[in-house]
Structure 1
Amino acid sequence: MTDALRRRETTLGNPGPHPNPRRPSLRLPPGATDAHCHVFGPAEVFPYAPGRTFTPVDAPREEVTARQRFLGLERAVVVQSAGHGADHRALLDALRADPANRRGVALLGPELGRTEVQTLHAAGVCGARLHFLPHLGANPEPDHTRMVVDTVVELGWHAEIHVQGTGIVDHAELIAAIPTPVVIDHMARIDLREGLHGPAVGSLLRLLDQGNVWVKISGVDRLSRTGPPYDDAVALGALLVERFPERVVWGTDYPHVNIAGPAPDDGLLVDLIERMAPSETHRERLLVTNPAELFGF
């Protein structure tokens, strides 16, 4: 990839995180967990995947941790990004720097052998992610999906599913058949032009009714059709917390790659938690109890 193309990709959809977020007014409970963040690079130490579909701005673990501390978050789940592909060195570095307060989610490429998977497990990886988004590459082949699910079941991990639009409907049968805990990223990135009574929301609710499916109340800026303060997406988050308080978690999605427009204010995202989880009891579950159960803190 040429430097010119890298600069163009960084400008279009990867602007870097908000440079000066406000300090949240909402005080988070002790043990509050960022259930979805990424580490990127630094590229000179941890190069990006040669076949990647985007190039992020560097967000090394020290920067990610500093932003989380500023927001009042103590624990974090670091999700491997397609920007690094199946090269987990940056993820492993982040987990080993704070093993008590960090867990990880891997991308299990076909080239990863048994030894590499065991290394990830020993370092604190507790889940594997499957992408069904065209901008991140082709959907996984059925054989690869089966391999990932088999590995997740064997190791006692969760399966993390990343879909958008009608994806939660299109892949509902696959999700329903996974016999281990399943986590739906970013409220399934549902198209909110359908409102809260469309088929995608219905499909998500039916899956959550199964009892082994969880959902991340994150990415309100990605779902919203109205912009800050993201009222339409916050309404969906509030519905999910009210209906399934025992199987919701929340994350910053820091540093917000592959977005349209500037990155959201992370302080605002924290303050919106209060609108989605208005009681202290709900916030304790969302930020502390549920992630401790799901990720093994």
Structure 2
Amino acid sequence: MTLGPEPTIPGPLVHPTPPSFRPPPGSCDSHCHVFGPAATFPFAPDRTFTPPDVPEAALARLHRTLGIDRAVIVQSASHGRDQAVLIDALRTGGGRYRGVALIGLDTPRSELDRLHAEGVRGIRLQFMPHLGAAPTDEEILRYADLVEPLGWHVEIHVAGTGAVDRFGVITKIPTRVVIDHLGRVDLNDGLDSPPVQALRRLLDTGTVWLKLSGTYRVTLTGAPYDDANALAASLAAHAPERVVWGTDFPHPNLYGPMPDDGILLDGIPDIVPDERNRHKLLVANPTELFDFS
């Protein structure tokens, strides 16, 4: 199927609620995206969705509202392996941003070196049917071998029982592993389901990190996401030194109510009540994981 230029997914809220919680200096939004503008950075011909334009300027505006100083921009599947939009954002950020790329097993080392020089520090592997075919376990390890010399992490985007299904291969990955969006577990199964237990066991390895992002993707109750925040809180308490937080702005492939990023930020004190561990979550942990200066 060939997609036209019109967006097939909605955009984010233009005016999020000003948050009550003020993050500490140096805080990082560890998972967000930029889209286009398509006139300058065309979307991939083989994309599975077409987002509206949400350029770096919109991301920067959100971060000013939230009081966020740094961010990790994850290359979107809508742009595919053309990293031009990501590189432009990294350069515009002037050191405030790090990047996570989408690559292929045929991506040459020279290209990886170029991306590293621009600020990329990881790759993302997708296991979501709406984003295309997932890599096999063998391919996952081959990807890890490609990026290990650069010290990059491998980011895993799974859902449902994915943390259980991929547990074995994740523990074999020689680099740091970052699991997106609380593993997108099904909260219908409770806070101690096999996938949640798998996340805890993966955190216990010492090489797996978890993004406490996408609470709005796992909630059963809706905003202010108390049930998902409770899940995030239990995992943050389990391994406070290996968790990071992100908005997932501009919330792609969401067809229900768009989350209010101010409300997402205001959930942080419920997720991590202790100020010292909040500093780890927002400042110290992303500084280490994403190699900020």
* TM-score of the pair, normalised by structure 1: 0.95
**Separation (CA, whole Å) in 1 of partners of 2:184 and 2:55:** 26
Q: Secondary structure at the match of 1:161?
A: strand
Equivalent residue letter for 2:145: D
Shift of 1:29: 0.1
Query: Alignment partner for residue 270 of structure 1, among 265, 268, 273?
Result: 265
Sort the Cα spacing of 1:226 and 1:154 in 2 relative to 1 into closer, same or farther, 3 A: same
Alignment map for 1:10-25 (pairs within 5 Å): 10=8, 14-25=9-20
Name 2:154's counterpart in structure 1: 159
Name 1:137's counterpart in structure 2: 132
Number of aligned residue pairs:
291
Shift of 1:231: 1.4
Name 1:38's counterpart in structure 2: 33
Contact conserved, 1:86 with 1:112, CA < 8 A, in 2? no
Query: Alignment partner for residue 214 of structure 1, among 209, 213, 218?
Result: 209
Alignment map for 1:1-297 (pairs within 5 Å): 1-3=2-4, 7=6, 10=8, 14-142=9-137, 144-297=139-292
Q: Secondary structure at the match of 2:205?
A: coil
Q: Secondary structure at the match of 2:155?
A: strand
Contact conserved, 2:137 with 2:169, CA < 8 A, in 1? no
Shift of 1:225: 1.1
| Unaligned 5+ runs, structure 1 | none
**Separation (CA, whole Å) in 2 of partners of 1:256 and 1:138:** 21
Shift of 1:146: 3.0
Shift of 1:19: 1.9
Contact conserved, 2:105 with 2:143, CA < 8 A, in 1? no
Contact conserved, 1:99 with 1:124, CA < 8 A, in 2? no
**Separation (CA, whole Å) in 2 of partners of 1:48 and 1:144:** 25
Mean alpha-carbon deviation: is it higher for 145-154 or for 42-51? Answer: 145-154
Q: Secondary structure at the match of 1:196?
A: coil
Q: Write out per-residue CA displacement over residues 29-79 of structure 1, whole angstroms, 9 at most, x where no aligned residue.
A: 000000000011000111111111111111111111111111100000000
**Separation (CA, whole Å) in 2 of partners of 1:231 and 1:117:** 40
Contact conserved, 2:141 with 2:173, CA < 8 A, in 1? no
Equivalent residue letter for 2:75: Q
Q: What percent identity do the matched residue pairs reach? A: 55
Contact conserved, 2:182 with 2:210, CA < 8 A, in 1? yes
Shift of 1:113: 2.2
Contact conserved, 2:158 with 2:180, CA < 8 A, in 1? yes
